[in-house]
Amino acid sequence: MIIILASVVAAAGRIDEALALSQEHVERSRAEPGCLAHAVHRDTEDPHRLVFVEQWQDMAALQAHFAVPASREFAKALSTMTTQPPELSLFDASPVPMPGRPA
Protein backbone atom coordinates (compact mmCIF):
# COMPACT_ATOMS: atom_id res chain seq x y z
CA MET A 1 0.00 0.00 0.00
CA ILE A 2 1.18 3.52 -0.79
CA ILE A 3 0.42 6.27 1.72
CA ILE A 4 0.64 9.94 0.83
CA LEU A 5 0.89 12.75 3.34
CA ALA A 6 0.72 16.15 1.68
CA SER A 7 -0.05 19.72 2.63
CA VAL A 8 -0.50 23.17 1.16
CA VAL A 9 -0.75 26.61 2.72
CA ALA A 10 -3.50 28.75 1.22
CA ALA A 11 -2.92 32.42 0.53
CA ALA A 12 -4.80 34.94 2.65
CA GLY A 13 -8.46 34.97 1.72
CA ARG A 14 -8.22 31.78 -0.38
CA ILE A 15 -8.66 29.00 2.21
CA ASP A 16 -12.39 28.45 1.63
CA GLU A 17 -11.88 28.26 -2.13
CA ALA A 18 -8.88 25.94 -1.73
CA LEU A 19 -10.82 23.69 0.66
CA ALA A 20 -13.83 23.46 -1.66
CA LEU A 21 -11.61 22.63 -4.65
CA SER A 22 -9.72 20.06 -2.57
CA GLN A 23 -12.92 18.39 -1.36
CA GLU A 24 -14.09 18.02 -4.98
CA HIS A 25 -10.74 16.41 -5.85
CA VAL A 26 -10.98 14.05 -2.87
CA GLU A 27 -14.48 12.89 -3.78
CA ARG A 28 -13.49 12.30 -7.42
CA SER A 29 -10.31 10.48 -6.43
CA ARG A 30 -12.15 8.10 -4.09
CA ALA A 31 -13.91 6.62 -7.14
CA GLU A 32 -10.64 5.77 -8.91
CA PRO A 33 -9.44 2.16 -9.10
CA GLY A 34 -6.95 1.39 -6.35
CA CYS A 35 -7.93 4.30 -4.09
CA LEU A 36 -8.35 2.89 -0.59
CA ALA A 37 -8.79 6.23 1.20
CA HIS A 38 -8.48 9.91 0.32
CA ALA A 39 -9.19 12.86 2.63
CA VAL A 40 -8.39 16.52 3.16
CA HIS A 41 -8.24 18.10 6.60
CA ARG A 42 -7.79 21.64 7.89
CA ASP A 43 -4.83 21.99 10.25
CA THR A 44 -6.03 23.04 13.72
CA GLU A 45 -2.75 24.83 14.43
CA ASP A 46 -2.54 26.70 11.11
CA PRO A 47 -6.01 27.42 9.68
CA HIS A 48 -4.50 28.23 6.27
CA ARG A 49 -2.91 24.76 5.94
CA LEU A 50 -4.72 21.85 4.31
CA VAL A 51 -3.46 18.32 4.93
CA PHE A 52 -4.12 15.43 2.56
CA VAL A 53 -4.01 11.79 3.67
CA GLU A 54 -4.28 9.16 0.95
CA GLN A 55 -3.97 5.39 0.70
CA TRP A 56 -3.47 3.67 -2.65
CA GLN A 57 -3.45 -0.05 -3.36
CA ASP A 58 -0.06 0.13 -5.08
CA MET A 59 2.26 2.41 -7.03
CA ALA A 60 0.52 1.59 -10.32
CA ALA A 61 -2.79 2.91 -8.93
CA LEU A 62 -1.07 6.05 -7.68
CA GLN A 63 0.65 6.65 -11.02
CA ALA A 64 -2.69 6.20 -12.79
CA HIS A 65 -4.19 8.78 -10.40
CA PHE A 66 -1.44 11.27 -11.18
CA ALA A 67 -2.04 10.71 -14.91
CA VAL A 68 -5.76 11.57 -14.72
CA PRO A 69 -6.23 14.97 -16.41
CA ALA A 70 -8.51 16.14 -13.58
CA SER A 71 -5.74 15.43 -11.06
CA ARG A 72 -3.28 17.57 -13.00
CA GLU A 73 -5.91 20.31 -13.39
CA PHE A 74 -6.57 20.21 -9.64
CA ALA A 75 -2.86 20.59 -8.82
CA LYS A 76 -2.52 23.50 -11.24
CA ALA A 77 -5.63 25.28 -9.92
CA LEU A 78 -4.68 24.73 -6.28
CA SER A 79 -1.19 26.12 -6.88
CA THR A 80 -2.74 29.48 -7.80
CA MET A 81 -4.25 29.65 -4.29
CA THR A 82 -1.18 28.79 -2.23
CA THR A 83 1.80 30.68 -0.88
CA GLN A 84 4.43 27.99 -1.48
CA PRO A 85 4.87 24.68 -3.28
CA PRO A 86 3.04 21.72 -1.72
CA GLU A 87 4.81 19.37 0.66
CA LEU A 88 4.41 15.75 -0.43
CA SER A 89 5.69 12.52 1.13
CA LEU A 90 5.06 9.00 -0.19
CA PHE A 91 5.43 5.86 1.91
CA ASP A 92 5.39 2.19 0.98
CA ALA A 93 3.53 0.58 3.89
CA SER A 94 1.95 -2.65 4.97
CA PRO A 95 -0.64 -3.11 7.72
CA VAL A 96 0.57 -4.45 11.07
CA PRO A 97 -1.56 -5.73 13.94
CA MET A 98 -2.32 -3.31 16.75
CA PRO A 99 -0.34 -4.29 19.88
CA GLY A 100 -2.53 -6.15 22.35
CA ARG A 101 -5.21 -6.96 19.78
CA PRO A 102 -5.65 -10.22 17.88
CA ALA A 103 -4.50 -10.11 14.27
Q: What is the pLDDT along the chain (103 residues), one digit of tens a residue?
A: 999 999 999 999 999 999 999 999 999 999 999 999 999 999 999 999 999 999 999 999 999 999 999 999 999 999 999 999 999 999 999 988 889 887 6
- Alpha carbons 2 and 93: distance in angstroms, whole number: 6
pTM for the whole thing?
0.90
- Alpha carbons 80 and 63: distance in angstroms, whole number: 23
Q: How many CA atoms lie less than 13 Å away from 12 in the CB half-sphere?
A: 0
Q: Which residues contact 76 (CB under 8 A, 6 or more apart)?
A: none
What's the pLDDT at 95? Answer: 87
Instruction: Set out the domains of the chain in order of their start, with CATH numbers.
Output: 2-92 (3.30.70.100)
